[in-house]
Amino acid sequence: MGNNTHKGISRIDSDDKNMHGWFARVYLKSKVFSNRYFNDKKFGGKQKALQAAKEYRDVTIKERNEQHPEAVNARRRVTSDSRNKTGIIGISRTKIKSKSGAISEFFQVTWRPRKNVVRTKSFSVKKYGEEGALNMAWEIRQKAEKQMYGDVQTPNFDIYKKNYTKKRQEKELPDFSGIF
């Protein structure tokens, strides 16, 4: 598929079900808003069925955008990620090793203020402490979320506590109650 002229359109070729045609889908908030199958035979060939599928898709997108203007250029918001260890989307706890072998630990906050633009900012655990570095990263993330989405997502801090105690059982867990 790879090219944008076929976005939302898939080819179906199933000899055992005698299905040969194109399937067009239009989405709204990650769910199918509308879909339709375009049979090659019914539309007079593979290319004509594809053209009909494209026309259907384009008209349906226009209708969707008129019915749901909030969907036009809406940003997709990630609410959870199994790889996230901090419990706050957009904030990671990172370690880097310098050429001398010294290990630096920091919290890094990442956000996308607009399409094709990524911003990051890091806060040293050594310089600010565990709680201070995380709090500073969270403040930046809150501002970014308000700018990007209009509100702030509630973090799942239990994830961080679970991962923090796993890796650092010998240290006392800082009191994060004042952060959130």
Predicted pLDDT at 177: 56
Same domain, 62 and 129: no
Question: 154 in a domain, yes or no?
Answer: yes
Show the CA angle centred on residue 43, arms to residues 42 and 45, nearest 5°. 105
Same domain, 33 and 99: no
Question: 173 in a domain, yes or no?
Answer: no
Predicted pLDDT at 65: 85
Question: 79 in a domain, yes or no?
Answer: no
Q: Count the domains in the chain.
A: 2
The rounded distance, in Å, linking the Cα atoms of 35 and 26 is 6
Predicted pLDDT at 1: 40
Question: 81 in a domain, yes or no?
Answer: no
Question: 18 in a domain, yes or no?
Answer: yes
- Helix, strand, or coil (residue 42): helix
pLDDT along the chain (180 residues), means of 10: 74 93 89 93 97 96 85 59 68 88 91 85 93 88 80 66 56 54
Question: 78 in a domain, yes or no?
Answer: no
Residue type, position 99, single letter: K
pTM: 0.48
Predicted pLDDT at 69: 76
Same domain, 52 and 107: no
Q: Which domain holds residue 95?
A: 91-167
Same domain, 42 and 95: no
Q: How many CB atoms lie within 10 A of CB 58?
A: 13
Predicted pLDDT at 113: 81
Same domain, 96 and 38: no
Helices (H) and strands (E) in the chain, counts: 4, 6
Question: 155 in a domain, yes or no?
Answer: yes
Same domain, 38 and 102: no
The rounded distance, in Å, linking the Cα atoms of 90 and 78 is 9
Same domain, 95 and 136: yes
Same domain, 155 and 98: yes
